[in-house]
Amino acid sequence: MTEIMTGAEMVVRALNDQGVDVIFGYPGGAVLPIYDVLFHQKHIRHVLVRHEQGAAHAAEGFARSSGKAGVILVTSGPGATNVVTGLTDALMDSIPVVCITGQVPTHLIGSDAFQECDTVGITRHCTKHNYLVRQIEDLPRVLHEAFYVAQHGRPGPVVIDIPKDVQFAIGTYVGPRNIEHKTYRPRLDGDAQPLARAVEMMAAARRPILYTGGGVINAGPEASRLLRELAGLTSFPLTSTLMGLGAYPASGKNWLGMLGMHGTYEANNAMHGCDLMIAIGARFDDRITGRLDAFSPGSKKIHIDIDPSSINKNVKVDLGIVGDCGHVLRQLINAWRALASKPDKSVLAKWWAQIDKWRARNSLTFKNSIKVIKPQYAVQRLYELTKSRNTYITTEVGQHQMWAAQHYHFEEPNRWMTSGGLGTMGYGLPAAIGVQMAHPGALVIDIAGEASILMNMQELSTAAQYRLPVKIFILNNEYMGMVRQWQELLHDGRYSHSYSEALPDFVKLAEAYGAHGIRCSDPSKLDDAIMEMIDTPATVVFDCVVDKTENCLPMIPSGKAHNEMILPGDEAEIEDAIDASGKVLV
Amino acid sequence: MNMNAPLSPYSSALGKANSEVHTLSVLVDNEPGVLARVVGLFSGRGYNIESLTVAEVAHAEHLSRITIVTSGTPEAIEQIGHQLERLVPIHKVTDLTLRGNAVERELAMIKVAGKGANRDEALRLAEAFRARVIDASIESFVFELTGAVGKIDQFIELMRPIGLVEVSRTGIAAMSRGPSPT
């Protein structure tokens, strides 16, 4: 069925037809016609952020916790440039986001008009795809195509730039059913031949490891279920990237903890010493591999990814399988079940015994204190007091993020929202707002640092406006902790501009926004304070005053291999561990 | 490879020693910005473009063909192909060098100025290379030459001492041999 309507009406109608019920945005001159249509309807809730970057991260948080696309609506010029960080973040972490930007009318494009910028030019490098819609005839197709592109294949952000005259123009609306993308058809199933070879390799392995990433989570909850099934069938040990936490439960038998720069000793050593690595929806990022020429030198490697460009990009693998993680996992399970002779699980006994030895080093240990709250202890207590609830965790970026990844344990996918690839400070609070919009009754906690939280502090006002009971749990060490840690390790403790001078009083700040503020600096009072936070049915800012100079360990020093980790208690060695070539790395 | 540069611990052991030149044929939707996407991909990821040709090849279907000559290790070139395939408006990427058996041609215009014996020599060489004269004045010629890159390079080198003024080249257009499409 076709209908005649304005471009602005088409935008809102297409959002409805795509099943969108929440959008995050900020009005301005070039999107007023769309805002006018929003005014007349009740199906879509609009969340007014305080800065467009907040809208982008909120849409990411919404998308990651719900599996649906997040939607952003902003104006031209500064509205568009302010979402660039969020779009880049979504691109790096493969988050499906559709961002609608207003543009000056077509006859003014190129004239340096007020609030004009080359939005498609600026966002070309930080989106999966983008569109400038110059005529009304293209608008319905582009709107639906954008949702298709954002959500299919490797997900990512898509921008639709709509000039104001196109929003006013009248045309024929076409629904999503009649639209199919001409060329973009990602492959979902893996090819039979490499799959058969993969199962042979798995059956022959004596020291295998499953290395999984955010791709498993992006493939939907069924992929996580299948991953658990495969791990159960094979008894293979399993580790995950930061982005993949929750796909396999942290309480699961095969779980080795997170791997990589701040991963566990057992996970990194198992990666180094394995004879078969099966990478599923992970991309061999530099945080994971450490020194590339010493990365898991003795192993055969299988890589399953929906993006062919991820295979052999950083690490040369022996077998690549292009496909959706969920589909390929199902194929692998079927092929494994069909094996004529399955290896006895006892062939892995030696490998598991070795892993248990590594595990016994207890690499996440820390020296607790009764005088000062250790940040790791704060996350541990937060975990213990919230684990039985319907909890979602977001983070900012830095030490607190790594401590959250190490000490908060996830049992389910889509519960952990963090900026992995881009490492965007200021992600966590707006992301928490997006999560809370998707899960109104849930307990949503942003584990933050005092420096990161100030980067998008203004969104506290958004949380207050919509009465979103998000909890902002600040591990306040008065430093940009990860910067301070690297300055200690690499620059002889010259803490150049990493001290958080002139911090606000976070309790008063919370109150100024109409939120509830809590401060705690005494370990013996921490549990009560956390319970107060949980039991307060409002936005809470928790100023958790922690040890100022705690370092985040264990750590693979930059430029080192997986088996060259610095463990807690080895701090003295850190300074000597990084050589000149490691120093240039980030 | 620059031996003085510190070896990055993240750099692959393969280095840049075995660099190869490949011709990629890329069929794309002829839509605004598609060339910027392709060129931006090369600059953003640090790949080389040695030559690039683009024009619409099927008007009704809105298809353009971009022919890119690039260089890099075989691994880098495989990666370039995959990165190009990720771009939404791209239909097909063919590595003509990898497939072998492709025809490659380039068109060049070469302006030569001179008098007397030089003028005769330029004309004589042009004839030997089957270059056409497309403009002539009392003291200059513009030659049009189509052929393989090496042939054009050679012709330009021969014109240099005679009075080469300037060169304009199209870059390579290429296609697979035989009945099936590239």
| pLDDT band (50, 70, 90) for residue A572 | low
Q: Give the model confidence (pLDDT) of A339-361 as tens digits.
A: 988 888 889 999 999 999 999 99
pLDDT over 60 (residue B13): no
Does A582 reach chain B within 8 Å, measured CB to CB?
yes
Mean pLDDT, chain A, rounded, equals 96
| pLDDT band (50, 70, 90) for residue A326 | very high
pLDDT over 50 (residue B4): no
The partner residues of A448 in beta bridges, in order of sequence, read A474
String of DSSP letters for A268-321 = HHHHHH-SEEEEES----HHHHSSGGGSSTT-EEEEEES-GGGTTSSS--SEEE
Query: What letters, b where the CB count within 10 A reaches 16 and e where it falls short, cover A555-565?
Result: bbbbbbbbbeb
CA separation for the pair A216, A328 (Å, rounded) = 11
Does B40 reach chain A within 8 Å, measured CB to CB?
yes
pLDDT over 90 (residue B38): yes
Of B10, B36, B37, nearest to A292 by CB-CB distance is: B10
Which residue's entry shows tokens 């295979």?
A311
Hey, which residues of A are catalytic here?
52, 114-115, 164, 482
Q: Are strands B90-95 and B20-29 parallel, antiparallel or unpaired?
A: antiparallel
Average pLDDT score over residue span A530-547: 98
Q: For chain A, what percent of residues have pLDDT higher than 90? A: 92
Q: What is the pLDDT of residue B7?
A: 45
Q: Give the model confidence (pLDDT) of B41-58 as tens digits.
A: 999 999 999 999 999 999
Q: Give the model confidence (pLDDT) of A359-391 as tens digits.
A: 999 999 999 999 999 999 999 999 999 999 999
Interface of B with A in 99-118 (CB under 8 A): none
Chain B residues with beta carbon closer than 8 angstroms to that of A183: 29, 88-91
| pLDDT band (50, 70, 90) for residue A580 | confident
Q: What is the pLDDT of residue A581?
A: 77
pLDDT over 50 (residue B14): no
| pLDDT band (50, 70, 90) for residue B10 | very low
Smallest Cα distance from A342 to chain B, Å = 35
pLDDT over 70 (residue B67): yes
How high is the ipTM of this complex? 0.89
Of A120, A154, A292, nearest to B9 by CB-CB distance is: A292
Mean pLDDT is lowest, of A154-158, A479-483, A556-560, B27-31, for: A556-560
Q: For chain A, what percent of residues have pLDDT higher than 70? A: 98
Q: What is the pLDDT of residue A177?
A: 83
Of A120, A293, A307, nearest to B86 by CB-CB distance is: A307
CA separation for the pair A467, A470 (Å, rounded) = 9
Average pLDDT score over residue span A310-318: 96
Q: Do B37 and A124 touch (CB under 8 A)?
A: yes
pLDDT over 60 (residue B120): yes
Q: Do B91 and A316 touch (CB under 8 A)?
A: no
CA dihedral for A368, A369, A375, A381, sign (positive or negative): positive
Q: Give the model confidence (pLDDT) of A56-112 as tens digits.
A: 999 999 999 999 999 999 999 999 999 999 999 999 999 999 999 999 999 999 999
Helix, strand or coil for residue A470? coil
Extract the tokens encoding B81.
């192909």
Q: Give the model confidence (pLDDT) of A479-506 as tens digits.
A: 999 999 999 988 999 999 999 999 999 9
pTM as predicted: 0.94
pLDDT over 80 (residue B15): no
Q: Minimal CA–CA distance to A58: which of A70, A67, A68, A74?
A: A70
CB atoms within 10 A of CB A491: 11
Q: What is the pLDDT of residue A64?
A: 98
Peptide bond preceding A186 in cis form (omega within 30 of 0): no
| pLDDT band (50, 70, 90) for residue A574 | low
Q: What is the pLDDT of residue A182?
A: 75
Q: What is the pLDDT of residue A341?
A: 87
Chain B residues with beta carbon closer than 8 angstroms to that of A581: 6-9
Q: What is the pLDDT of residue B11?
A: 46
Q: Give the model confidence (pLDDT) of A272-288 as tens digits.
A: 999 999 999 999 999 99
A5's CB contacts (< 8 A; 6+ apart) are A13, A170, A171, A173
